[in-house]
Amino acid sequence: MNIEAAARRVDEAVLNASAIEQISATEPFPVDDAYRIQRAAIELRKQRGERTIGIKLGFTSRAKMIQMGVDSLIWGWLTDAMLEEDGAPVDLGRFIHPRVEPEVCFLTMRDIDRPLTALEAHAYLEAVAPAMEIIDSRYQAFRFTLEDVIADNCSSSGFVVGAWSRRFDGLRNAGVLMRFDGREVQVGSTGAILGDPLRSIVQASRLAADAQCVLPAGTLIMAGAATAAQALEPGLHVQCVVSGIGQAEFTTKSRA
């Protein structure tokens, strides 16, 4: 596998907002190479001035595994260019076939430089917020293998984070609602995320340690979707409510 060439392919799909064939269609490749491609593609973003500000976990819930037919936990990078302001309009023009999913986001207050236990995780956290991730697979028809989706930075394209708080109590099993124009489109519970979203910190610490990465204090960690993702279209008001934690929202518009 030519890692650099594959990274340029996914990166060009991002820049042109146009779908590509799955990389595995021409050449099957292992998970290790998938993460190498992901890293190389993030380097290309950094060369354009983007900054990594956190990580995202994927397939931490059954709902997502079933929707996408993939059953391994994956992770990718969040950059400053992906962060959309809570309550603001999101321009869909830069996406191919965007979907949105309800999540929670954590903000760390200490460097994570080793695998943490569930008991330790809490002490590493500054705050939690309701959040939504906008995913936009760079592959045609939003279809991919595990390796393809990892290479494509786990479909990550944008995210919106609501107000931060230290409301960690009740986070284990809080109701999650996603609404389009006031209509419920997804309903679930934070318990769907690894049984308890705090476990995403344990998983993140393990993945980072395996990759010999330190997650510096101030890192954002998106825990993964609590429900299946929902396709976005222009002209929507999108809201995510996490009971007892808060809400996040945005509207969609298109350039066209």
- Interface with ligand OOG by CB under 6 A: which residues? 56, 58-60, 64, 68, 101, 133, 135, 137, 149, 154-155, 224-225
With respect to ligand OOG, which residue has the nearer C-beta, 75 or 180?
75
With respect to ligand OOG, which residue has the nearer C-beta, 146 or 256?
146
With respect to ligand OOG, which residue has the nearer C-beta, 4 or 189?
189
Q: Residue holding tokens 């999650």?
A: 176
Strands (E), the chain: 52-58, 74-79, 83-84, 89-91, 99-108, 125-135, 156-161, 175-180, 183-189, 220-222, 230-231, 237-242, 246-253
Of 121, 77, 107, 128, nearest to 217 by C-alpha is 107
Of 224, 227, 251, nearest to 176 by C-alpha is 227
CA dist 116 and 199 (Å) reads 10
Name the site residues for Mg ion (rule: CB under 5 A): 133, 225
Of 138, 126, 151, nearest to 221 by C-alpha is 126
Q: How far is the CB of 101 from Mg ion (least distance, A)?
A: 5
With respect to Mg ion, which residue has the nearer C-beta, 153 or 252?
153
Q: How far is the CB of 33 from ligand OOG (least distance, A)?
A: 18
| Residue 33 three-state SS | helix
Q: How far is the CB of 224 from ligand OOG (least distance, A)?
A: 4
Residue 64 interacts with which of Mg ion, ligand OOG, none, CB < 5 to 8 Å by class: ligand OOG
Q: How far is the CB of 107 from Mg ion (least distance, A)?
A: 17
Residue 112 interacts with which of ligand OOG, Mg ion, none, CB < 5 to 8 Å by class: none
Residue 59 interacts with which of ligand OOG, Mg ion, none, CB < 5 to 8 Å by class: ligand OOG
With respect to ligand OOG, which residue has the nearer C-beta, 2 or 52?
52
Give the N- to C-terminal CA distance of the chain in Å, as an integer. 38
Residue 241 interacts with which of ligand OOG, Mg ion, none, CB < 5 to 8 Å by class: none
CA angle 60, 77, 75 (to 5 degrees): 30
Q: How far is the CB of 59 from ligand OOG (least distance, A)?
A: 5
Counting every residue written for the chain, the total comes to: 256
